Amino acid sequence: MPDHIGQLRNLQELSRFIVGQTSGRRIGELRGLSEIRGRLHISELQNVVCGMDALEANLKDKKYVDDLVLEWKSNSDVLQNGIDIVNNLQPHENVKRLTVDSYGGTRFPDCKALHIPGNSRFEKMRQWKEWVSFRGGEGGAFPHLQVLCIRHCPNLTGELPCELPSLTTLQICGCQQLVASVPRVSAIRELKILNCGQVLFGSPPYDFTHLQTSGIEISNISQWKELPQGLRGLTILKCVSAECCLPTSLKSLRITTCRRLHFLLPEFLKCDHPLLERLRIEGGYCRSISAFSFGVFPKLTRLEIYGIEGLESLSISISEGSLPALDILLIHTCYDLVSIEFPTFELTRYEIIHCKKLKSLMCSLGSFEKLILRDCPLLLFPVGGSVFSINSLRIDNCDKLTPQVEWGLQGLASLAQVSIRGGCQDLVSFPKEGLLPSTLTSLVIESLPNLKSLDGKGLQLLTSLKKLCINDCQNLQSLPKEGLPTSISFLKISNCPLLKNRCQFWKGEDWQHIAHIPRIVVDDQVL
């Protein structure tokens, strides 16, 4: 930033002004820049000496600025004249968003004097202890405030604003000493309270009828005796115990990083949840999730289980006479998981990914539109049942899941897409005759290090095949002498060095087998 920038009286864009201590860089340089518009970020405010010095910035006159950031150097102390400085940095009433970052004073100005716009953020104010206008529960009328975020203010102890009729978003994070009540605002749509002291709902119970799916995000739920009725979305973080039953109005529930899941899950789920559609359990520790019943989740459509340490077994059951609405089942990154047991489902999407110790799926797989099995090196083909309908099958890096005729895939008329990527160390030729159904339209073969040939007879039976992709098969020597199915309209070959020359336009030995295909791409080159 050049010195004496204040001489540019017609300047319209100044995204950042760094306050200095020498002539030409002091905050007073902003005084005559009344044409500045959009976002204005003023940093290094610890270099402002006093309130009169701050007044020289003349922020009240900058009517075109709609996003104002006031930033002090992190860990700086602003103990003397701090309130006067902030009061004299009063912005124009046209400001829509205000961020106060790393203010080092212990007290914050009277908010009746400081204009608070519709979107206000207070961050990393590590010495801040009280918001002056809220002492004794008085003050706090901000009719236009829609978003209020208070983050990483570990010493804040005072009350929160109490009259916020337009508030739609409230986020309070990292305020360990704060003891306050959540403002009673029926219009609120998003509420996040993480790592705080005691920020509670008052009495009578709150009714947040406008909460979106994101809903409330809270940690340390053990201190909450009651949650608001009408709540549709809830995220619970780092919880060790629970004293309240979850609202039956929930449509979305996320439980994350809870170390005592074996105790908490029964507590959280002891009530019926007739409206719950999405459940995500991630992080934390639990040896077993057994008898997970859909009886209390009649409308659950999406279940996600991610990264649970120590989880060795997962058992899912269906109450007699009930048909689950489950549509998507995702199980990811459960490194200790050995077995999964569940009944027949009809799913749009089913994924098991990064489960290094998983050996068995004890189930009747049922019907799927899309089945993805990835990075499960010990997984064997499911026992106790079979797939009776599937549209898309993808197997990535599952060493023991080499496709076999015994799987019965050839009888699945619905199977349209198959992708085999990695693993399959013993696979030398693919696909075997009678392995895949004639209805298959797309086949992807990738990263099979020992694959040497494509089975011509097996491919010729795929009379509906339109797309064939062969990637990173270093030892694949040639295309089948029988040629490729005449139905293929797109062929892509990448990083298969032994095939590249054989597929050269007109000259390659295998060109005669692929010349009929309308679109051919070899190593990103269209032939």
What are 446-464's pLDDT values in tens digits?
999 999 999 999 999 999 9
Go through 9-43 and write b for each residue having 16 or more CB atoms within 10 A of its CB, e for each that does not: eeeeebeebebeeeeebbbbbbeebbebbeebbbb
**pLDDT score at 157:** 82
Q: Which of 369, 362, 407 is nearest to 389 (CA)?
A: 369
**pLDDT score at 333:** 96
- Only one residue has tokens 């200095």, namely 20
**pLDDT score at 123:** 83
Between the CA atoms of 384, 389, 395 and 401, what dihedral angle is there, to the nearest 10 degrees? 30
> Which regions in the chain score pLDDT beneath 70?
75-81, 109-118, 131-141, 184, 186, 197, 199-215, 219-229, 240-244, 291-294, 318-323, 363-366, 382-388
Report helix, strand and coil shares of the chain as percent, to nearest 5.
Answer: 15, 30, 55
Q: Give CA–CA dist 430/282, Å, rounded.
A: 38
The DSSP symbol for 61 reads G
Domain boundaries, given as residue ranges, for the chain: 201-276, 277-401, 414-527
Backbone angles phi, psi at 223, to 5 degrees: -85, -5
Alpha-carbon dihedral sign for residues 55, 60, 63, 69? positive
Q: Which of 203, 254, 197, 193 is nearest to 229 (CA)?
A: 203
